Structure 1
Amino acid sequence: MIRKSRKEDIDKLVEIWFEVSLKAHDFIGEGYWQAAQEDMREKYLPMSDTYVVEGKNEIRGFVSMLDNYLAAIFIDSRFQSQGYGKKLMDFVKKDRDYIELKVFKKNNKACDFYINNGFKIKDELTDENTNEKEYLMVWKCIE
């Protein structure tokens, strides 16, 4: 089941984001992610349209959109590769003609996920906070 996130979900969402970020971005120091937790809790999640995917009354992952920008999609590591990411991606695509996102180039698993979900690399950039290479990727609805 996918539903709009609620205020009481924030701690769980930040927990999932932090845990998965550490594993997926092992090329960035843990201190970077620790420092970003408060902004995630107080700024980024509240200002985004965030939806959670649940199974057995447990949040398994979430997606956050800022208009047509995919700001975050994270699946609890215990539930990855079970289709939850695809369900969330399909959910946000159904009401949009265009989505863009940035993903670290070294995050091969995420890059593959986005490509498998119809995204194309539009540009290669450098993240100003980490100095890491990242891709700007886009998806366009084809009708």
Structure 2
Amino acid sequence: MIKILDISKMDDIMKIWLETNITAHDFISENYWRDNYDFVKKVLPESTVFVYEEENEVKGFVGIVEDSYIAGLFIAEEYQYRGIGSKLINKCKEYNSTLKLDVYGKNLKAINFYKKCGFKIIEERVNNETKEIEYSMMWNK
């Protein structure tokens, strides 16, 4: 079931955020994610966050900022490839006629997933902080 963020689940959500980022972005230092943990935990509640939960267990979430920008989609590793990411993206599509996001060029699984969800690459650039190539992607209704 998809719900709006419940602050009492923040530790579960941040655990998924950290573990998923470290695993999906093995080309970026683990310290980068650990150094950004407190900042993300602080600003996440200011976003629109949809959480996928079953039997009181958080299995994934998506955060949207500035109305239509997907700041991140994270599914706990043991629940990936079960349709949870697609359900969360579809929930975002219910509320927005346009969605944007950025994804690292080396994260091919994510790029392919977003393409399957109808996103198109609209720009390529180097991320200022990580110096990695990233793509801006967009979906329109």
Fold in common (TM above 0.5): yes
Which residue in 1 is equivalent to 2:73?
73
Which residue in 2 is equivalent to 1:90?
90
Which residue in 2 is equivalent to 1:3?
3
Return the alpha-carbon distance in structure 1 between the equivalents of residues 71 and 30 of structure 2: 20
| Aligned residue type for 2:32 | Y
Cα distance per residue 1:28-79 (max 9 Å; x no partner):
0111011010011112x12210010011221100010011100111000010
Cα distance per residue 1:73-100 (max 9 Å; x no partner):
1000010000000000000101211000
Which residue in 1 is equivalent to 2:36?
36
Partner of 2:109, secondary structure, is helix
Name the % identity: 39
Aligned-residue RMSD, C-alpha: 0.6
Q: Which of structure 1's runs of 4+ aligned residues deviate more than 3 A?
A: none
Return the alpha-carbon distance in structure 2 between the equivalents of residues 54 and 7 of structure 1: 14
Which residue in 2 is equivalent to 1:60?
59
Return the alpha-carbon distance in structure 1 between the equivalents of residues 78 and 115 of structure 2: 23
Q: How many residues align?
A: 140
TM-score (structure 2 length as normaliser) = 0.97
Q: Does 1:23 align with 2:29?
A: no
Return the alpha-carbon distance in structure 2 between the equivalents of residues 91 and 54 of structure 1: 14
Return the alpha-carbon distance in structure 2 between the equivalents of residues 9 and 126 of structure 1: 34
TM-score (structure 1 length as normaliser) = 0.96
Which residue in 2 is equivalent to 1:128?
128
Return the alpha-carbon distance in structure 2 between the equivalents of residues 42 and 11 of structure 1: 12
Unpaired segments ≥5 residues, structure 2: none
Unpaired segments ≥5 residues, structure 1: none
